[in-house]
Amino acid sequence: MELSLPRLRMLRELHRRGTITAAANALHYTASAVSQQLAQLERDVGVRLFERRGRRLQLTDLGVLLAEHAEEILASVERATQALEGAGESVTARLTAGVWASVASGLIPEALTTLAKTHPGILVRTKELAPEATAAAVRDGALDCSFVIDYSNSPMTWDLGLERAVIAVERLHAAVPAGAVPAASVTLAELAEHPWILATARSHFGHAVRLAFQSAGLRPRIDHEVEEQATAMAMVSAGLGVTLVSDLGLALRPPGVDIVSLTDVLTRTVSLAYRTNTARRAALLLVVDAIRTAAAEKGLAADPLLPAPDSMPVGTRAPEQPDASLAAGLIDRAVGGE
C-alpha cells in the first residue's frame, strides 16, 4: 500500500473541518477535486473510509484512525524536511507565502530577487489571497507564511498559534479626482462631503475606514463598493468619487488622480505571520529580512518602537503608533483587498 501525502492532507482537512467544501476551501482546491482524490485514497487503502449521512460525507472509524495517523505522518514529513534542509552548509527550503496585490507588486519582486542572490537554496512561491483569509491559511498549514495587516484604529485578534515579524508601517492618503481638493491636506470631515468609493465592511480596510468615520461622528456617502485598489483609483480618475490609498498602492495611481495628505492619521502595520511550531524558522527569518530590506529601501521601514518580531506572538495586538509622522512612508492596503 502506498499512501499519497496530498491525499492524506485532504483527509486531515476533512477530519478537521467536517465537510468537503470546507476542506477544499482550506486547501484552495475545488470540492469535486477533493472528492475525487479522497475516493482514490479509499481505493488505495482498500477499506471503507467514508459514509454518507444525508448529504454529508463523514469518516468511518477506520477513516478517523487514518486521519489521526495522517496528522503524525505529515508532521514527521515536515520535521524530516527541516532536518534535510538544515544538514547542508546553506539554508534550503521551499516555502509558499500568501500575498495580496500591493505587497506582491511593491515588495515581493525586490525581496525575492535579493534572496535568490544571497540564499539561492530558498525558493518562495506566492499565492494571492484576500488579506482577511491569509492568517487562517497559515494556521491551517496551507501556507508557510503570509502577509497580515493590523489597522491602527482596528487591531485584529490574532491566533496564538502564530507569530509575526513586523515588516513595515504605512499611512493612508486621500485619492481624489484631479483638482477636486486644492489644499495640501484634507480632513475626513471634508472628504465626507464627496461621494466615496470604498471596500465592503467585511474587509479589514472597509471596516477600519468606516470606524474612523464613525469615531469622528461622520457618515460618508458610499456610492461604489469595490475591493481592488487599482479599480477604485480608476473610478476616482473618472470623477466618480474619492477613496483612500496606501503608500504601496500609490504605484497603481492612474492619470487624473491627486494624492492629498490625510490629516486624520490612519496607519496599518504589515507583518509576516508564520506558525509558532514551524520547522522552517531559519529560512523564514531570512525571507523576513529580505522583505524588510525591500520595505526599507522604499522608505517603509517599521517603526523602531514596535516590539521585536521574536517577542511578539500573533496572539497579541500591535500597539498604535505614538507619532505617525515618524514613519517615513507606511504600508497599507488602501481600497479593499490590497
SS3 273: strand
Say whether pLDDT at 334 is over 60: no
What average pLDDT does this structure show over 272-277?
85
Specify the pLDDT at position 216. 92
pLDDT band at 23; cut points 50, 70, 90: confident
Asked if residue 304 has pLDDT above 60, the reply is no
pLDDT above 90 for 265: no
pLDDT of residue 335 exceeding 50, the answer is no
Give the pLDDT band of residue 157 (cuts 50, 70, 90): confident
- Quote the DSSP letter at residue 300: -
Residue 277 has a CB neighbour count (10 Å cut-off) of: 11
Q: Bigger pLDDT: 85 or 287? A: 287
- Residue 159 near residue 135, CB atoms below 8 Å: yes
Cell of 124: 518562495
The pLDDT of 23-29, averaged and rounded, is 78
Confidence of residue 87 (pLDDT cuts 50, 70, 90): low
**Within its chain, how far is the Cα of 310 from the centroid?**
19
How far is the CA of 112 from the CAs of 97, 135, 207, 248, 278, in angstroms? 12, 21, 32, 17, 21
pLDDT tier, 81 (very low <50, low <70, confident <90, very high otherwise): low
**pLDDT at residue 329 in the model:** 31
Residue 214 has pLDDT above 90, yes or no: yes
Q: Is the pLDDT of residue 120 over 50?
A: yes
Q: Has residue 288 got a pLDDT over 80?
A: yes
How confident is residue 291, by pLDDT bands cut at 50, 70 and 90?
Answer: very high
Q: How confident is the model at residue 85 (pLDDT cuts 50, 70, 90)?
A: low
Q: Write down the mean pLDDT value for the chain.
A: 82
CB-based contacts of 136, cutoff 8 Å, min separation 6: 26, 159
pLDDT at 313 over 80: no
Q: What is the DSSP letter of 203?
A: S
Q: What is the mean pLDDT of residues 54-72?
A: 88
The residue ranking higher by pLDDT, 276 or 174, is 174
